[in-house]
Structure 1
């Protein structure tokens, strides 16, 4: 991918994110089956906490990459899972975009001033942790020097954007959460299972990327 194509891609993505998003139509393609609409509904008696994550784009080896991160094992809903940098809205944050920028700096060492914010995808409610999360799309012009937080991050996993289009990397895994058994679509990234909310956000992003790439190839 040439620098000119990368800049054209970024410009088209910035414009596309100002338009209506595919939302649930795209998210649901990577949602665990059977589809449970309760996964998308907040409980009015238990207001959701707010969180922000960052889908950070950077050029590397002729393509576009996104850093995912593997969380360490801990006593919590997302122990050992692969996710985007991100976390809950704190008092120091002006909004959820600021949350995503702050967490990206804290968790993988990318300074917020280095990141150009292009826009956001659709919010997604995560029933397991009772979070409503806004995915922010950002870009840096050079491959970052990732500095993972030793407490919050077990590993940084660079994912080429091309992985979203590779059918061999889209798989399904049976998961048991007694008394329930689900069939969960996931992305196989570096041998890790990228599923749940992260996969659903990636699904919406993939939908948008497909539109942009089709336009740039005209």
Structure 2
């Protein structure tokens, strides 16, 4: 079994993440329900890298149709955030753990809107395997989004929520509208990894009503 080597930028991200945790944290993360997400990067078909994202089902009660990383709430049996992230990815997208190389955990991030404390887990897909929407009542789509597309200035803008004080980086790639927590983490990741290209942060667009209704 050929295992793909970890790219240099991802090694740098692992080394810098805790030293520059302010990129990811926005306050104390002592309170909140424990949860974790898997930031799974792999080799893309263009010779670069991609990241695995999911689109939540439109019928979900909370955050319907929103794009997220695989992940969710911690179970009592989970030993740590990595255990939570990998279990959730196995349940949601049928991910085989055999080809996944865990590189580390980022500082936990408090989400005041949902009351969760989320730990992003960085991983490299050294030996990719098939994935799919394993729980269709929760996941509508699984996508491998190329980093080249995420860094394309034409796909980046600032999302503004008209109903509350919110303005943050966002993306539109491959039919996916990526905003909120997921977009902020992706944006910080691209910056820390040295992959970000200049983009028009003054291009401010309102969050689509279909997301605001939820």
**TM-score scaled by structure 1?**
0.76
Aligned with 2:185: secondary structure? helix
Aligned to 2:192: 208
Highest relative contact order (Cα 8 Å, sep 6+), 1 or 2?
Answer: 1
Deviation, structure 1 residue 27: 4.5
Deviation, structure 1 residue 57: 1.2
Unaligned runs of 5+ in 1: 29-38, 212-218
Question: Within 5 Å, which residues of 2 pair with 1:16-165?
Answer: 16-19=13-16, 20-24=18-22, 26-27=23-24, 40=27, 47-61=31-45, 62-73=47-58, 74-76=60-62, 78-149=63-134, 150-165=136-151
Unaligned runs of 5+ in 2: 196-214
Structure 2 CA distance for partners of 1:16 and 1:27, relative to 1, 3 Å: closer
| Structure with greater helix share of residues | 1
Give me the whole-angstrom Cα distance separating, in 2, the residues matched to 1:200 and 1:209: 14
**Contact 1:22 1:204 (8 Å CA) reproduced:** no
**Contact 2:71 2:85 (8 Å CA) reproduced:** yes
Cα deviation 1:2-59 (Å, max 9, x = unaligned): x99x62515x6346424434333x348xxxxxxxxxx6456x8xx3101100011111
Give me the whole-angstrom Cα distance separating, in 1, the residues matched to 2:43 and 2:162: 38
Structure 2 CA distance for partners of 1:8 and 1:185, relative to 1, 3 Å: closer
**TM-score scaled by structure 2?**
0.78
Give me the whole-angstrom Cα distance separating, in 1, the residues matched to 2:166 and 2:12: 37
Cα deviation 1:48-101 (Å, max 9, x = unaligned): 10110001111131221111000012222x222100000011012110111011
Give me the whole-angstrom Cα distance separating, in 1, the residues matched to 2:27 and 2:102: 26
**Contact 1:107 1:148 (8 Å CA) reproduced:** yes
